[in-house]
A = this chain, B = another copy of it.
Amino acid sequence: MTQHLISGGQSITAPDNLKPLLQDILQQALGVTRGKVADYIPALAEVKPDYCALTVATLDGSVTSVGDATTPFSIQSISKIFGLMLAMERLDEKLWQRVQMEPSGQPFNSIVQLEWEKGIPRNPMINAGAILVSDVLVSHYSASKSAVLSMVRGLCASDSVCVDRRVHQSEIEHGARNAALAYLMKSFGNLEADVDEVLDHYFWQCALTMSTEDLARALAFLANRGTCPYSGKAITSHRDAQRINALLSTSGMYDQSGQFAFTVGLPAKSGVGGGIVAIVPDYGVIAAWAPPLNSYGNSARGMEMIRNLANRLGLSVY
């Protein structure tokens, strides 16, 4: 396959060659049958388990996809990146007095850690941290939902990004644990706005629907030193793009973050809707989607597709 070296070992595979590679990887992934579609809310439990999509957006502007790459799905925790961007913009350094930037190392037990650390979440990628970020948005934006939606639509240059109202409603109804996290932060004085309003924003944000093509385009600036490769607009500073990538590297893949760094070596974020995005600095973004989750809550096929692609193209940052 033809490769154009651009930097320390990384290369841009021409779209003509990339497509069959992605096709091959997707086919292999379909053989991976481990996993179970998220079922904590009915709206997610009903998603067909055999959806599968893989998209690569490179910095030269090309977007190569295979599978259901234009089908929107619930991005869930991937939305934590968008919330964080807006909160960093508003609070800057002050944000880090209210949320830490350390990996949590606490599988399933985040309320325990939140208690030990007196209501200061470990990082913005765990639920408590993203609820804290939602509190910042609700407190600092007159219309926090519009702010997120218009930013995301702008990033992927697509008005098709929506919110699934049924998922939103369902999250609220099954959100007792997140309410517990929010009230615990409130009890420590680390939540400013009304708890119901904060949770409403948080659940709304989790219910955003995007396709892998939407996601890959929307996050391309993280691979491009903060600048959107399509519009040329500076979305964040180079420094902040690196910082977000650092957070994704240490905390983006739930309790498999260390294993993902070890086996893949890319900043990444997953959601229980089955989506995963991985950032390849100075190269592009990989977005994958396949609903069945492994025991860590990460898409089993999505992990496998990204690992396979990264290893074949030698894309680790390390």
Chain A positions near chain B (C-beta within 8 angstroms): 6-10, 100-106, 109, 111-113, 115-116, 122-123, 176-177, 179-184, 186-187, 195, 225, 241-243, 245-247, 249-251, 255-259, 261-263, 265, 267, 281-282, 316-318
- A251 contacts which chain B residues (CB < 8 A)? 258
Say yes or no: A242-B318 contact (C-beta < 8 A), given A8-B6, A251-B258.
Answer: yes
Chain copies in complex: 4
Partner of A176 from B105, B183, B242, B265 at Cβ < 8 Å:
B183
- A177 contacts which chain B residues (CB < 8 A)? 183-184, 187
- A263 contacts which chain B residues (CB < 8 A)? 243
- A318 contacts which chain B residues (CB < 8 A)? 241-243, 245-246, 249, 267, 281, 317
Q: Is the CB of B111 within 8 A of A116?
A: no
Q: How far is the CB of A34 from chain B (nearest CB, A)?
A: 18
Q: Is the CB of B103 within 8 A of A103?
A: yes
Q: Is the CB of A261 within 8 A of B281?
A: no
Q: Which 9 A-B pairs have the closest CB atoms?
A: A105-B105, A7-B8, A103-B103, A102-B258, A245-B318, A176-B187, A177-B187, A180-B183, A176-B186
The 11 listed contacts between A and B (C-beta, < 8 Å) are A8-B8, A101-B262, A102-B255, A102-B256, A102-B259, A103-B257, A109-B116, A180-B182, A180-B186, A242-B265, A250-B261
| Closest residue on chain B to residue A283 by CB atoms | B8
Q: Is the CB of A187 within 8 A of B180?
A: yes
Q: Is the CB of B250 within 8 A of A258?
A: yes
| Closest residue on chain B to residue A103 by CB atoms | B103
Q: Is the CB of A281 within 8 A of B8?
A: yes
Having A109-B115, A112-B116, A245-B265, one finds 9 other A-B pairs with CB under 8 Å, namely A102-B103, A102-B255, A102-B259, A103-B250, A109-B116, A111-B115, A247-B261, A249-B261, A250-B250
Q: Is the CB of A176 within 8 A of B184?
A: yes
| Closest residue on chain B to residue A258 by CB atoms | B102
| Closest residue on chain B to residue A243 by CB atoms | B262
Q: How far is the CB of A226 from chain B (nearest CB, A)?
A: 11
| Closest residue on chain B to residue A238 by CB atoms | B314
- A241 contacts which chain B residues (CB < 8 A)? 318
